Amino acid sequence: MKTLNLDEEWEDGALYKIILVQQELPIFEDYDYSAQWELIEKTLEMDMNKEKLFNFVHPKNGKKVYKRRHTRCPANGNTEIVVGTMEKPLDFARAIIVIHSHMYKVPYIVLERYRHISSNPDVMAKMIERAFNWVLEGSGVKVILERWDTKGEIIQYHRDFARSWDIELNKCNGKYLVKLGYEDALEVHKHKEAEIKNGRKSDDIMDYIVHPNKEAIAEFIRQTIKVLKSAKEIARPIRLLCEYKVFVEYTPDGEQYRLPYKAFIKAFPEVKGLITMKRYNDWTNILRTSYEDNARHNNLKAQIENILSL
């Protein structure tokens, strides 16, 4: 029995129906299950907002944990995420989730590049199934991913997903759509709203880092400046990160790519006596003082580019 028939020659792809189960019984076609599917939509929104995260754990060894990123904002459950170790730029698999299908009227999920998780796509499917059910725990509803027997039909899922996502995006009035819906952009938007509401600036460095790997950025700064004594050299990694637009501060004049001195000193108090606010602002201002391109400068740039690629 053929269970995979995609719209292109794609050896590293697999197709599954998404089935809801309630009280151990499948929800049948004539059952009003709209509220239950809304729960599925909510789980994706909760994960996007980091309210309750999916937990992607390898179902066989139970120890290997994978990172995830949203590459589209959820539009009533239609979305796309990548899952993987992210240790290298291409260490990820992709899950295309279609709750509301314009062409096929069947909720389904397509797993692309699944070999980055396992050579058997069912392993990745089981991992995603468990991630959904962990978030749904206590709701009385469970998700089952079942291989889709297309009976020879060509499933044009790329076309269907593009159209279905756009239709649902319009229905929900672009909810969560910030700069194409990327999750880190959504986080920036939330920080901006909080600052406007509170009328004050945060002194937490994490509120200014817009790259998703915040801890890695902070640790890079810590390791770089811990042996430095010169104000100019202490400011150098911050200046480079500003040039890469890793930091964003919101002001009445708009977005500024910088990290405020008070947030820097709070995060790294050990350098307070080594660099004044004036020197810090001079050396980190991307519109003013420039650094020479020497070996140390280029080495720091290479380290930053490596972190940003993860």
User: Is 304 inside any structural domain?
Assistant: yes
Quick check: pTM over 0.85? no
User: Is 30 inside any structural domain?
Assistant: yes
Question: Where is pLDDT greater, at 19 or 50?
Answer: 19
pLDDT of residue 4: 45
**What confidence tens digit (pLDDT) does each residue in 152-208 have?**
777 888 888 888 888 888 887 766 654 344 444 455 445 555 554 444 567 889 888
Q: What are the DSSP calls for 61-75, one per residue?
A: TS--EEEEEESS--B
pLDDT of residue 310: 63
Q: Are 34 and 173 within one domain? A: yes
User: Is 1 inside any structural domain?
Assistant: no
Range with the largest mean pLDDT of 28-37, 126-135, 252-261, 292-301 = 126-135
Structure tokens at 134: 């962990």
Q: Are 172 and 206 within one domain? A: no
Q: What percent of the chain has pLDDT over 70?
A: 81
Q: Are 70 and 107 within one domain? A: yes
User: Is 278 inside any structural domain?
Assistant: yes
Q: Are 115 and 162 within one domain? A: yes
Number of residues written out for the chain: 310
Q: Are 140 and 288 within one domain? A: no
User: Is 281 inside any structural domain?
Assistant: yes
Question: Where is pLDDT greater, at 38 or 1?
Answer: 38
Per-residue pLDDT, averaged over 86-95, amounts to 83
Burial class (CB in 10 A: 0-12, 13-18, 19+), 115: middle
CB-based contact 79:97 (threshold 8 Å): yes
Q: Are 23 and 143 within one domain? A: yes
User: Is 2 inside any structural domain?
Assistant: no
Which of residues 142, 177, 212 is at a domain's end? 177
Per-residue pLDDT, averaged over 203-214, amounts to 84
Q: Are 120 and 169 within one domain? A: yes
Which of residues 177, 193, 212 is at a domain's end? 177
Q: Which domain holds residue 284?
A: 202-308
Please count the structural domains in the chain: 2
Average pLDDT value for the chain: 80
Categorize the per-residue pLDDT at 289 as very low, low, confident or very high, splitting at 50, 70 and 90.
low
Distance CA 263, CA 75 (A): 35
Q: Are 170 and 206 within one domain? A: no
Q: Are 169 and 206 within one domain? A: no
CB-based contact 156:163 (threshold 8 Å): no
User: Is 191 inside any structural domain?
Assistant: no
Q: Are 125 and 227 within one domain? A: no
Element (H, E) at 127: helix 121-136
Bridge partners of residue 254, in order along the sequence:
251
Per-residue pLDDT, averaged over 55-68, amounts to 86
Q: Are 21 and 137 within one domain? A: yes
Return the ∠ at Cα 230 (arms to 225 and 234), rounded to 5°.
35
User: Is 129 inside any structural domain?
Assistant: yes
Q: Are 122 and 222 within one domain? A: no
pLDDT of residue 220: 94
**What confidence tens digit (pLDDT) does each residue in 224-269 have?**
999 899 999 999 999 999 988 888 887 666 678 889 999 999 999 9
CB-based contact 70:79 (threshold 8 Å): yes
Burial class (CB in 10 A: 0-12, 13-18, 19+), 195: middle
Distance CA 180, CA 297 (A): 33
